Chain A
Amino acid sequence: MKAGLHSPQTLMIRKLDSIFPLSAEERQALQGLPVQVTLFKADQDIVRIGDRPSQCCVLLEGFTQVYKLTAEGKRQIMALHVPGDIPDLQSLHLKVLDNSVATICPCTLGFIQHEDMRRVCERYPRIAAAFWRETLVDASIFREWLLNIGRREAYTRLAHFLCEFLVRLKVVGLVEDDTFDLPITQVELADAIATSNVHVNRVLQAMRANGLIQTRGTQVIVPDWERLKEEGEFDPLYLHLQQEGDA
């Protein structure tokens, strides 16, 4: 279950493969990408808005957040990324970053130089297509989040958020017995689903009381997946998984 046991490239390949099946040769090419592995503490910026990165990072262990701040300093978390994701993949084609990416918990990241990624994309057009598809799926997730935080009740919103997480973590093998690790604070959850930490706490308590979830430290247990899906109005279509992402 520990992501750290894989080679740095394996998780990325597994993730890409889940949305765009790759040939053995293409996997081999990705496996050969030079990756510089770096450890980050919790709540650390990896890249900031306005940066001009010359590399992308693959998340190997932990969770990261994409965020922006209002002038007043209020934070909106626009996306969370799970191991195997490339949270700043857009920097390969957009020179200046328009959002920041920070760690939620201690993370292991693998940095790949843009020039190495470009080289592999030129040689293997289907890998370029896979990366393109990955950014399109990211955009689809942003659209779903917009609907979720803009139009759903807090209870449904959080249930939807948990459903998405469970499915995405399952893809990279990080769910065991309907249990996954979610080391996120209630403040961060509030900033992700656009409500207050007080509301998040009420909703979590209600979900626990209704038997929708159980929590043990940072672990979330989902005893009844069908029920959680129903409560969260969750349809995994927008994740565009090749194999149906039904948990």
Chain B
Amino acid sequence: MSLTHQPVRVNTGFEEEGVLVFDERHRLVAVLVRLSDRNEVAPGQWFLEAGFGPLSGASYPAFADLDVAQEWISRRLALRV
């Protein structure tokens, strides 16, 4: 599944840098946020802030970089289609 993403600013109160992730039919499936370096749990990692459809209710994973995050999202979406 080919995903695309688009930069977005998110107000989490701590972070701003984020991306909207779209599936191949250009539907929004996830919002990823790059965690602040001050975050004590996963500093600087990409966090699945919100997931839609098959990704809603997913546990809250954090990823080392955007590629890993998108790979994980693709796998999750493929499981449910």
Contact = CB atoms under 8 A, between A and B. Distances in A.
Interface stretch (A44-52, A160-168, A173-181, A197-205): A197-205
Contacts of A198: 35, 39, 41-42, 47, 60, 62
Contacts of B12: 202
B60 A205 contact: no
Tell me if B's interface is mostly helix, strand, loop or mixed. loop
Q: Which of B12, B41, B47 has the most CB of A within 10 A?
A: B41
B38 interface: yes
Given A74-B59, A196-B60, A205 B14 contact: yes
Contacts of B24: none
A197 B42 CA distance: 9
Contacts of A199: 60
Interface in A198-239: 198-202, 205-206
B38 A205 contact: yes
B5 to A, nearest CB: 20
A202 B41 CA distance: 9
Nearest to B49: A198
B13 interface: yes
Contacts of B13: 202, 206
What class of interface size applies to chain A in its complex with B?
A: 10 to 19
A203 to B, nearest CB: 9
Nearest to B15: A202
A186 B59 contact: no
B14 A202 contact: yes
Contacts of B67: none
Interface in B11-64: 12-14, 35, 38-42, 47, 59-60, 62
Given A202-B14, A205-B14, A186 B60 contact: no
Given A190-B60, A198-B42, A202-B13, 14 more contacts: A74-B59, A196-B47, A196-B59, A196-B60, A197-B60, A198-B47, A198-B60, A199-B60, A200-B41, A201-B41, A202-B14, A202-B39, A205-B14, A205-B40
Interface of B: 12-14, 35, 38-42, 47, 59-60, 62
20 contacts: A72-B59, A74-B59, A186-B41, A196-B47, A196-B59, A196-B60, A197-B41, A197-B60, A198-B35, A198-B41, A199-B60, A201-B39, A201-B40, A201-B41, A202-B12, A202-B14, A202-B39, A205-B14, A205-B40, A206-B13
Interface of A: 72, 74, 186, 190, 195-202, 205-206
